[in-house]
Structure 1
Amino acid sequence: MTRIPDSSLKTAATFEKLFKRYYAWLCHYVTKLSGDPDLAEDLVQEVFIKLWESRYYITVRTSFKHYLFKACHRRFLQYVREEKKENNLLNTLKWETLYDLQAEGPQHMSVKIQAVRQAIDQLPPKCKEAFLLSRYNQLKYREIAEEMGISIKTVEIHISKALVLLKQNISFPLYLFILIFQEFLN
């Protein structure tokens, strides 16, 4: 059992040693939980960032390895809860939007489909490519990153930017429409 004096977390050199010692082990552990090595790396890095940011206030009463294990486990569970909450919200919004569109009739739907197509065509090229690969080809961020030759974080940025621009350029709450009627937009 490795006990780390609280004061040693405050030095960058010691912190770096601890990071190098446990990072791969923690990534392996979180990959077993999630099944996604890229997600595991992101979550473990977030744990280390939080640890570094709170290094002056933290007290490790167990072994550092046990502390990190628990912190990564908690971060993974938090991620799962956030994903579930987001999926529930998207599902609710999807059904509400579907109901609203159905009530408006087919003529309004074709106008909205055209508006969405135009808004997508106005996206910056990389944003558009990442967005289409995600929403229409159903690729995961890791797969998009590989295909485009960019990092996963850059994919996230492109897709977030695309959603913001679409929301701004469509005068009705149609960014949700995109999530629902993907087959109509191809």
Structure 2
Amino acid sequence: MAVIGSSLTEQVEQLYKEHRSWLSIFIQRRTGCPQVTADLIHDTYLKILTSGRLPKKQDSKRFLTHIAKGLLIDNYRRKQIEEAYQDYLLQLPQDHAPSAETHVQMIEALTEIDALLHRLPDNVREALLLRQLDNLSYKEIAKRMNVSVSSVEKYIAKGLQACIEAAIEDRI
């Protein structure tokens, strides 16, 4: 873990004092939840601390807004994943319900998979999902996407490569 210098800490603290009020309003309007707002404000400044990058004084609001918007999107996606997983669990017999620990681990894994998929180019993501989830052949995917079979092969190879790299990173 990186050691955070006292100078950086002081600068982030000053940034926090100057902007916490409007940032709180900005996030609260979008979440409607004081607890989520507090968490996202915390995460915004934590992200700055861990990155070690501070904005120029005149860019502070834009910089904080950019980080907060990304965290709001992540929060929204995670909420969608949690709701979908909860719906899935409701379909299972009660004796098959996972433990609380397994539940948390599954949400974390699904969130990581979602983030990985959203980092892929649209055509790569679409081809990979059509192959893996819908079990379509390369020819069927090519027809559906209106591209050549060789393009589909490249898209899926690129998507699988990204998955392998993500799996390797998690193990190191």
TM-score normalized by the length of structure 1: 0.44
- Structure with greater Cα Rg: 1
Give the number of the structure with larger relative contact order, counting CA–CA contacts within 8 Å between residues 6 or more apart. Answer: 1
TM-score normalized by the length of structure 2: 0.48
